[in-house]
Structures are given as structure tokens and as C-alpha cells.
Structure 1
Amino acid sequence: MRKWLRSLSLRNKLVLTILICLVLPSIVSMYVSNLFTRDAIRTQVADNARQSMLIASQIVTGQMKNMLYMMNFVQFDVDLREPILNLSRADETTSIGDLYISQNTIYKRIDTVMSPLENLVLTLLLPNGQYYATYTTTNFDPKSFFTKTWMRDVMQSGSYSVKWIGAELNYSQQPSQSYLLEAVKPLRLNGATYGYVIVGLDPSALQKLFAQYEDNESMVVIDAQGKILVDKDSSRIGKPFAYYDQLPTEDGSSFVKVAGEEYIMQSAQVTAEWKLVNMTPYKSAAQQIESFRKTDFAIQLLFLVLFAIALLYVVRTLTKPIARLVQTVFRIETGQLSERSNISGEDEVGRLGYVFDRMIDRIELTLFENKREQELKRKAELAMLQAQINPHFLFNVLNSIRLKIMMKGDEENAELISSLSALLRMTINRNNAYITLHEEIGINEHYVRLLNSRHGDRVVLRVSAASDTLLISIPRFLLQPLIENAYIHGLKSKAGEITITSRIAEDGRLQILIKDSGVGMSPERLEELQSHLEAAPAAQTEIEGSSPSLSGIGLHNVFERLRLIYGHQFDYEIESSMDQGTQIILRFPQQPEKEV
């Protein structure tokens, strides 16, 4: 058999191969197609369902964010805090006028924000029995919230976070719904509770959204225990979700069997405790894709036949000039670079022969140019070596100037030149990727000394480093961008204090704290900063928009660099409040996972 195949010409081999390749696909194409496209179809159907789910999830999440926004607004609005505190301290001696002023201020601030949010109701409940409500309290006493089990849990937990309660009977006298979705958040200041804000959501808009889906589809919002909170059928509110135990462990999709029919189950987290769940029949979702797959198979088969006919014709046209080209290649292989195929024509083989001849021409030219380029390169390298200045010459000159200034009694400027020389040496010398913490702190002391001499404002750098951390190696220029960031954005380029503290954490990692006594940040600005720091590595811009630091890396790149070196063993914390300064805590192992 092998001997017979070898005796065939190239043309006959190609024809035989084409015939085999046409017959075999026609026999097994359907089986292979079903085998290899089944998972692809399931994935495509799941992706389509996921897109539909994403739209609904965004709408539901938007409603939850409105609830969260109102609770955060009441907690953090500066103009609300004082009147709320006044009401919480009210007693029998408080005049009606003072109560009216506080209540009127609260009413104006909350009404301004809630006017566009028609489907929300809000209750501000204070420990002394005072309250504010955006609804009529004729038939409902807001103080009855204190008797609720969930309110007692909130009062005893001591947590600052939101508690998502779930479905409660409608107490706002709105006829559109018989229940509300509720969440509560404690108002605490310096560890003391001065009130509770309770927000209720009318779910009618969500029910209208869910009602747009087909009858055989189901979309619900459930709580952490699997109880239904929102459904287009109000009679199912509060009942257990039948397929809760089959939900995906994380946000995503899974396939479940319901009465012998396969469904695609999608879930998405809309709050810390609530999930949006959608169930779509797989058969109806995949019907269109299956029809498209069959049409696609017929088209491919048709083009396969046409391709075979055209290929047989091309084979007959190509074989003769290809043999000629092969002979030319053999001669060039022996070193006869002057040989050319001289094949011409408008088809692929003709262009191949033409390109092949031009390629040999370029190879000859390239060999000549490479020889000439090597000569020019050696001359350029020699010129660079001759023009190179040894950096140590600059350091020696600076030290000479420093000695002359010291001899004249100007020790202050001599120390500045010494700091500049040390900082310049560390900046130019990039041979070592790591230095000890002691050396890094010394470099930053030089840096702060130069800052004070440049701007005139006295920045005090306080260092409290544990002795067992001083000899630990850390990446070069790790602290300098953080010191610069604290000076520019924390102290606003004014006088103040910057503190560096280091110790070994309980888990054995090195912990470094950088704190400033500056203006601090609002919670919104802190959240924005943290989202920037978690951005993709491609966003290589400075978080606060400052100019590049001395080390050539910004705050974002410092964190990204630590992630690359220490992997998941690196973490950080940023704490800040207005007029209280900002502190950054870094934790990473004493030895890096990999070199960078």
C-alpha cells in the first residue's frame, strides 16, 4: 500500500485526498456536528438568557440602590445630622418651637431628595420615641417598629450595615400594593445609636417588569432563606421558592429538571441577602438556534461540493509550475543564489513564483546590508562608550561641593546636598530590586528634608518601626510615592505630620502604616479612590491626578506592583474621614512570591 502511494504523482495524490475528504465528512458530519455543538448550543442559550437576566437585574438593583441611597443620605447628610441629633435628645423640657424647627428641617431635606422616588416611603425612628415619616400615620404608629423582631436584632447587633428585612404589610396607606420591601439601617455616631432609618419599596414596578415574561418563564426575588419577596403573582409572596436548593452556588446559571422539562436557572445577587432568580425553558430558548444550525449545515455542505470541484481544477493548474519551483529550490539549496524560477502568471502559483524570486533578491540584499549594519553598529557602540558619563562622577562632585559648604559653616545647606546626593544615588541605581526597610525609611527622611527646604512648610516625619522589621527587604521606592501622596493630597502641600509605623502582624506578614494629619476624605471620595485602586492594570494613571512621583510610579502602580510581587498574600486598608487625616495599611509577606 505504501509503495503504491509513493508511486502516485502529486496530482493523483491530491485528487485521492480530496475524494477521501469529501466522502468521510458526508458520512459523519451530522454525528460530529451534534456531538461537538451540543455544549456550544447550551452555552449560547445560557448566554442569551444571561443577557435578558442582566437587563432585569440592572432594573431590580437600581431599585435596591435607591433604598440604599436614601438610608445613606439620612446618615451622612451634614444638614440632617444636627436636627436629627436634636430630636433624639428631646425631652419634656424641649420647647415645641425647637421640635418644630428640627422637624421642618428634616422634612425639607428628605422631601427634596425623595420627591422623584415615588415608590419609596421612609421612616426616621429615634430612641426617645420621636419619629419622622413620609406617609400618613393616622392608622399606623411608627413606634410599633420597636416591637418587631428584626428591629430588636438590629438594636442588639451593634452593626453599622444595612439589614434587608424583606416583605412587610403595607402601612403607608398606598392602595397599589398590600406589602412593601423593607430595609433598616442604624444611625450611629462614635459607637452610640441616635436613630434608625427604615425605607420601604413599593414592588409594583418590579411586578410589572416580571409580568412581561412568558407564562412558562418565572422571575422572582428571594431572600437568604429562599422565601419569595417579589413575584408577578402576589399570592406567592412569602412562600418558599420551590427550587431554592438547586440554585447555583454563585451568580451564574444552571440547568434543572422541572416535570421532565429542562429549564435554565439564572441567579444574580441584588443585595447582600436578596437574589434575583429567572427560570426559562431550554427547549423554547434553543429552538431558534437549532433551526439556524440545520440551515448552516446545508449551506456548508453545498459550499463543500463547490469547493471540491474548484479545487480539482486548481490542482491540475498548479502541479506543473510547482514542480518547476521545487527544482529551483533544490538548486538554491546547493548555494546557487543566482538561480530564479521565472514563473509568471496571475494565479497563486504565478504570484508565488514571482514572490519567491523577489525573496531571493531580498535575501542577497539583506546579507549585504547586515554586513554593513554590523560595521555601523560597532562604530555606534564605540561612540556611546566614549560619550558615557560615569554617574559616580556626579556623586563625587556633589560631595566635594558639600565639603566646601561645610568648611564655610553652612551645615544646613550641606545636609540638603547630602540628602540630594543620597536620593539621586538611589534613583539612578536600579540594580537592586529590593532594599531593607531601614534603608527605605532613610531615603524618605532625605526626601522629606528636601520637601521642607523647597516649600518652606515644615512636614514632620515620625517613624515608629519595630526593630525586628528594619532588616526585612521590601521593593525599592515603595514608601516614597505614598509619602508624596500624603503630602500633596492629604496635607495639601502644607505643614503637618506624616507617620510611618511598621510591625510584624499576627499572621507573620510585615505591616506598614502611613498616616497623615491632613484634610482626609469623604466616604464618597474614599469609595471612588478604592474603586480606582481595584481598576484594571491597564489604567496606569495616578489616582488623584497628581504629577508623577520621583520614583516614576504612582499610587495605583505601587499597589499593582505589590500584587504582582506578593500575589494574593498582599492586602491593604485605607481609612479616612474629613479633617481626621488618612492612613494606608499595607500587609505582605517578608519574602516575595516572585521577582519583578
Structure 2
Amino acid sequence: MRPFRLRAYSGLSFRQKLIAVSVACILLPTCLTLAVSGYLTRDAVKDQAVSNAQESLALADGYVSNLLQYMLYVANYIQNDSEINATLKALAFGNGGDELSERLRLLSKIDNISSVGEQVFVTILQPDGRYFTSYPVYEYDPRLLFEEPWFRELRTFSGLSTYWAKTRPTVYMTEKTNHPYQISIGRTLRIGSDASQIYGYVVVTMLESRINKIFRNLAVGQEMMLVDEEGRILSHKDPHRIGERLEYLQAADGNSNVLELDGERYLLTRRPIAYGGWELVSLLPYGQATANITGIFNSVFLLLIVLFCLFLMLLVYLIQTFTKPLVKLGRVAASVQRGNLDVRSGIRSRDEIGSLGASLDQMLDRVGEMIREITLQQARKRKAELDMLQAQINPHFLFNVLNSIRMKVLRKGDRESAEMIASLSKLLRMTIERNKEMITLHEEIEIAADYVLLMNMRQKEKAELRLDISADVFLQKVPRFMLQPIIENAMIHGLQQGPGTIGVTARIEGDTVEIVVEDDGEGMSAETLERLRADVSRRPELSGGEPGGVDEADGADGAGELPGAEHRGFSSIGLRNVSERMAIIFGARFRMTIDSEPGRGTRVAMSIPRQEVQRNDV
């Protein structure tokens, strides 16, 4: 049975196999996902509901903490203000100045504090009954604070310890009707080495309605409250519930629970705040908390089934459409295999198949071009060989004739002309001997020196060649005629065939040989320099000659300038010739940089890999 199934599968076409595998790879994970998602939906619904409730509590925590923090800020300001404390100490111990001015200054301070930020009631009370308030005394007599039960506990606090007085009925006459509850904090002001002597009390009060207003704005559809460490409600949007103790908080475990109260399930969420050991509590009917999420899950589940059926039909259709170009590519490949190189796929879509079709067509076009190019190269090569045979002369005969002329001139006493003929003979020998592409740097320096000598003989004013060559660089192998085109550019375009200095420096630095040619000529503008760099950086392209072949004559004459050069700066032909030759020989390890400034000359730096000098090279 199994071999029959394998044979049946292997007998399918590529398109049928793709459809079968795609359907299987989509159907199996989809069914498994639907089954698992149905099982996990309940936990996901609960987690999302808890997350929403926690976000609401976090937002409320920010607002409530800001209010309580502001109360602490006011208390801290009064306790740490040196002027306020000095005035209170002076009044408490009777060693101050004018008591009336001291009181006025202190009341002004309190008014400034209470007039900025949230609405708070500030009271500074001294043990002898003196008081300073941010509210009028007809609102509330601050000396009644001595009679408050919690005030006795306040006396036991010291330093920056804060007594949180929790929620109590509002004592201010004009606020009782609309704001029945208030929350206060207290601090003691002490003096002495052991801080045992109290010279004042600071009480900051805020109306509880400031907090429950936050609950009304944020807790839409849920019950949110502030409770103390015993589970008693300190703030609630329903004032009648303030002071009620929530017994179920003792049984709740963790910050989020699902409780059943009066036959209905509720989602209980708790969040501690940073003050007084209090916490925020949110109570939300569980059905309401999960109604939207459950509906979304059910809708998504139904939509997923419908979309799966539609997508399955669409998938089969699209696979058939997408595989048509593959079938066409197969036919093109079969035609090419039979030797038909003129066939093309014509597929130009923007996907991978289109890219493959375009690449195949480009490859066939390139193959045709290469065939034509090879044919043309062969013809050019045959023509070049004929031209070489026709132009070939006997170098030894030519050199012997030049030597004979030099000796005859020398016998007549014209040493300068004899040296000129000798230098010309050396340069001509290097030009004709094409079998010696790599020479030592020492030989290349001699060629450059001979060239400068010849150029100085044809110029009215001579250029000076300065050499600074490290001894360990002389035997390094370099391409023939590497320096001459650069020096020629320096003399013709940099020095304008006039007087000046051309310096050649060569050093070994690590694994590279650094060669620098620089002149003190006219230099070039930034625009011309950028065009020169761009022209020199171009890579050599394939031509009809030998790969990487370079005509030394082109590199030596240095003719042709950059557009707009105005005879200032370097010619690009000689430099490009050198750059191309060096790049062909040394590859990515060769680097050439060109720097120039108008009036300060031009600097050409080249970096080539260092070579180990063999003993037989010496």
C-alpha cells in the first residue's frame, strides 16, 4: 500500500504537488490552532481583563500619587525652609524681633505655598497655641487640632516621619456641604541635640473629593476606591461608603482575583501606592469585564473559519496562476538545451519568477554578446599580431646606433647632448622590452630620473627631482613606468614646464609599500580635483586587446586634460593608466589617493602590497 502511495505522489506534476503540500501545510496548522485557541480563550480573556483593570489602576495611581505627593511637598517645604523655621523658633522661645512683622512674613509665605498647585489647607500650630494658616479662622479654629485623637499620635513622630490621618469628616465650614471628607498629614518640628523639644506642628489637609473625582473620571463601569492597610475605604465615589471595611480583601490572594459576591462574579484588582501603606482597589463585574473581549474572540473564530474556506479556494487558483511562468521557463530551458539561443521567456513580473525570467533572458543575451565579442577579439588579435610583425625592428641595432651617436657627440666634447642620448636610450629600451613588466623600484627611479633629465634639457628652467627612498624598498618589484606618467603630469601640468621641485618618497609600513609623488606647483581647485578622482577611480573595462593590457605610450605622454582644468592640476589619462594597471596587478590591495590645493601643489600617494625579496633578486 505504501509503495503505491509514493508512486501516486511521484506521478503528480509539480503544480499538483505544490497544491497538495500547500493545502496540507495550511489545513493542519489551522485546525490545530482553532482547537488550541478555543481552549486558551478563557485564560486569554481573563488575562486581558486583568490587564485592562491594572492599566486603569496604574493610571489612577499616577493621579492619586501626585495629589498625595503634593501634600508631602508642602510639608517638606515648610519643614526645610530656614526662614520659616527661624521665625517659628523665635516666636516659640521669645528671642525674636517684632512679633507682628514676623507673623506677617510667615503668613505671606504660607499664602504663597497654598496659592500654587492643588488646593490644600496649610496649618502651622505651635505648642503655646499660636497658629498660622492658609485659611481664615472662621472656617476652622486650628487650636481644635489639639483635641483630635490622632494629634496625640502625631507628637510621637520626629524628623521627616509623616503621620497620615486617613479620611475624616471635613472641618471647614464652607466645604462641609459639598465635600464631606478630608485627608490630612502631619509633621512635628523639633529642636535640641536629641530633637526632644517641639516648637511647632505642620498639618496639610486635602479634600477627599479631589481623589474620588479621579475615580469618577477614570473608573467608567467599574468600582474604584482607596483603602487603608486594614481594608477600610478612604476614598470612594460614593461618600456613604467611606469607612466601610472590605472583608473580602483579607481572603483575596495576590493583586488580581475573580471573586463571587452576592451570587455574582467580580474581577478584583489591587495596586499598592507609595504612601501610608494604602492601596487602590478596583471591583468590576466579570461578565462586563470580559464581554467585549469574548465577543471579539468569537467573531474572530467565526471569521477565521470563513476566511480559511475562501483562502483555500483562492490558494488553488493562485498556485495555478503563479506556476504558469515556471512552465514557460521550463519550455525555454528545453529549447536552449536543443541549441536555440534566440528564444526568450519574455517574463517581466516583479517577483522572484520574473527576476529569474529576466536573468535567463539577460544570460542568453550575454552569451550571444560574448560569442560575438570573442569572434571580434579573435579578429582583432590576428590584426594586432600582423601589425606587431610589421612594426617589429631590431632593438639592438637601434641601441647600437644611439650609442655610436652618443660616443661621437661625447668625443666632440658635448657632454650634455651625450647624457641626453644616453637617457633617451634607457627610456627607449624600457619602452621596447615588453617582456619585462615588473622591475625593481631602483630601476623605476632611474627611469624617472632619466625622464626628468630629458625634460629639463628641453625646458628653459629646470625642475628638481628630490628622492627620499628607504634602503629596504629599492628591491621591491613594481610595474614598469609606474612613476613616469605621474612625474610627467607634475612637470607639464603642475609646474607648467617651469622651475619647481618634485619629491618622490617610498617607505615600508607594515605589509604595504607607501609611495608618494608630490610637487610644489599650482595645484588645482576642489571641483577639478573631484573630477580627477572620479575619472581615475573608474575600473578598466574589457576591450578588444589582451585583458589588462596597457599601452605604455598612453601612460607616458600624459596627453589630455580634464574638462575645465585650464592647464591647472593633473591630466587624468596618465593617472588613470597607472591606476588601472596597478589595480589589475595588485587587485583590491592597491590604493591611490590624490590631494591638491590651489597654489600649494599636488600629492599622489599609492599603496601596494609588500613582497618578500628573494636572494637571487639582489
| Map 1:361-510 → 2, pairs under 5 A | 375=586, 378-379=589-590
Residue of 220, 227, 232 corresponding to 2:237: 232
Give the match's secondary structure for 1:241.
Answer: coil
Contact 2:271 2:281 in 1 (8 A): yes
Partner of 1:221: 226
What CA distance in whole angstroms lies between the structure 2 residues aligned with 1:380 and 1:360?
Answer: 36
State the SS of the aligned residue for 1:284.
helix
1:159 Cα deviation from its structure 2 partner = 3.8
What number of residue pairs does the alignment pair up? 362
Q: In the superposition, relative to structure 1, how do residues 269 and 118 fare at CA in structure 2: closer, same or farther (>3 Å)?
A: closer
**1:179 aligned residue (178, 181, 185):** 181
What amino acid does structure 2 have at the position aligned with 1:41?
Answer: V
Describe the superposition over 1:466-493 as per-residue Cα deviations: whole angstroms up to 9, x where unpaired.
xxxxxxxxxxxxxxxxxxxxxxxxxxxx
Deviation at 1:105, TM superposition (A): 1.3
Cα shift at 1:229: 0.8
Deviations 1:428-454 (A, max 9, x none): xxxxxxxxxxxxxxxxxxxxxxxxxxx
Match of 1:196 in 2: 201
The match for 1:158 is 158
Aligned 8 A contact 1:253 1:266 in 2? yes
Per the alignment, in what secondary structure is the counterpart of residue 239 of structure 1?
coil
Cα distance in 1 between the residues matched to 2:363 and 2:290: 52
| 2:103 paired residue number | 103
- Residue 280 of structure 2 is matched in structure 1 by 276
1:376 shift after superposition: 5.8
- Of residues 24-33 and 220-229 in structure 1, the stretch that sits farther from structure 2 once superposed is 24-33
The verdict on how the C-alpha distance between 1:157 and 1:69 changes in structure 2, with shifts beyond 3 A counting, is: closer
Conserved in 1, the CA contact under 8 Å of 2:179 and 2:209? Answer: yes
| 2:353 alignment partner, one of 327, 349, 352 | 349
Give the TM-score normalised by the residue count of structure 2: 0.49
Q: Deviations over 1:331-377 (max 9, x none)?
A: xxxxxxxxx99865566522344368889999xxxxxx9x9799566
In 2 relative to 1, CA 322–66 (structure 1 residues): closer, same or farther, beyond 3 Å? same
Alignment of 1:545-564 (within 5 A): none
Pairwise CA distance, 1:216: 6.6
Task: Tell me the equivalent position of 1:294.
Answer: 298
The runs of at least 4 aligned residues of structure 1 exceeding 6 Å deviation read: 213-216, 323-329, 356-362, 371-374
Point out the more displaced range, 195-204 or 280-289.
280-289
Query: Is contact 2:110–2:133 with CA below 8 Å preserved after alignment?
Result: no
Residue 42 of structure 1 aligns with which residue?
Answer: 46
User: What's the offset of the Cα at 1:71?
Assistant: 0.9
Structure 1 letter corresponding to 2:104: N
- How far apart, CA to CA, are the structure 2 residues paired with 1:42 and 1:53? 16
* Paired residues of 2:328 and 2:345 also in contact (CA < 8 A): yes
Q: Is the 8 A contact 2:181 2:209 kept in 1?
A: no
Q: Is the 8 A contact 2:158 2:189 kept in 1?
A: no
Q: Relative to structure 2, which stretch is displaced further, 258-267 or 137-146? A: 137-146
Alpha-carbon distance, 1:290 to partner: 2.5
Matching residue's letter, 1:237 = I
Q: Which amino acid aligns with 2:188?
A: P
Q: Note closer, same or farther for the CA distance 1:145–1:16 as it changes in structure 2 (3 Å cut).
A: same
Q: List per-residue Cα deviations over 1:87-132 (Å, max 9, x = no partner).
A: 2223xxxx99833222211211111221356742222122444322
Query: CA 1:214–1:76 in 2, change beyond 3 Å: closer, same or farther?
Result: closer
Please tell me whether the aligned partners of residues 164 and 186 of structure 2 are also in contact (alpha carbons under 8 angstroms): yes
Q: CA RMSD in A?
A: 4.5
Query: Does structure 1 residue 52 correspond to structure 2 residue 19?
Result: no
CA distance in 2, matches of 1:272, 1:380: 73
Unmatched segments (≥5 aa) in structure 1: 330-339, 363-368, 382-596
How far did residue 270 of structure 1 move? 5.3
Partner of 2:320: 316
> What amino acid sits opposite 2:281 in the alignment?
V
Secondary structure of the residue aligned to 2:168 is strand
Q: Residue type of the partner of 1:73?
A: Y
Report what 1:168 is aligned to: 168
Residue 81 of structure 1: aligned partner: 85
Alignment of 1:246-285 (within 5 A): 253-258=256-261, 259-269=263-273, 271-285=275-289
Q: Is the 8 A contact 1:5 1:13 kept in 2?
A: yes
* Gap change, CA 1:375 and 1:75, over 3 Å in 2: farther
Q: Is the 8 A contact 2:162 2:187 kept in 1?
A: yes
Distance change (3 Å), C-alpha of 1:136 and 1:321: closer
What CA distance in whole angstroms lies between the structure 2 residues aligned with 1:327 and 1:272? 83
Unaligned runs of 5+ in 2: 334-343, 367-579, 593-618
- Structure 2 residue aligned with 1:12, among 7, 13, 16? 16
Q: Secondary structure at the match of 2:155?
A: helix
**1:164-219: CA deviations, max 9, x gaps?**
22123433334433432111123356766542211111112333443467897321
Structure 1 pair 179–316 and aligned structure 2 pair: CA distance change class (3 A): closer
| Cα gap change, 1:312 to 1:215, in 2 (>3 Å) | closer
Is the contact between residue 347 and residue 354 of structure 2 (CA under 8 Å) also seen in structure 1? yes
Given candidates 237, 242, 246, the residue that maps to 1:241 is 246
Equivalent in the alignment of 1:424 = none
In structure 2, relative to structure 1, the CA distance for the partners of 1:344 and 1:207 (3 Å cut) is closer
Shift of 1:244: 2.3
CA distance in 2, matches of 1:34, 1:374: 69
Contact 1:120 1:200 survives alignment (8 Å)? yes
Identity of aligned residues (%): 28
Give the TM-score, by structure 1 length. Answer: 0.50
1:186 partner amino acid: T
Q: Which residue of 2 aligns with 1:524?
A: none
Q: Is the 8 A contact 1:222 1:274 kept in 2?
A: yes
Q: Is the 8 A contact 1:89 1:128 kept in 2?
A: no
| Equivalent AA in structure 2 for residue 184 of structure 1 | G
The structure number with the bigger radius of gyration is: 2
Query: CA offset at residue 27 of structure 1?
Result: 5.6
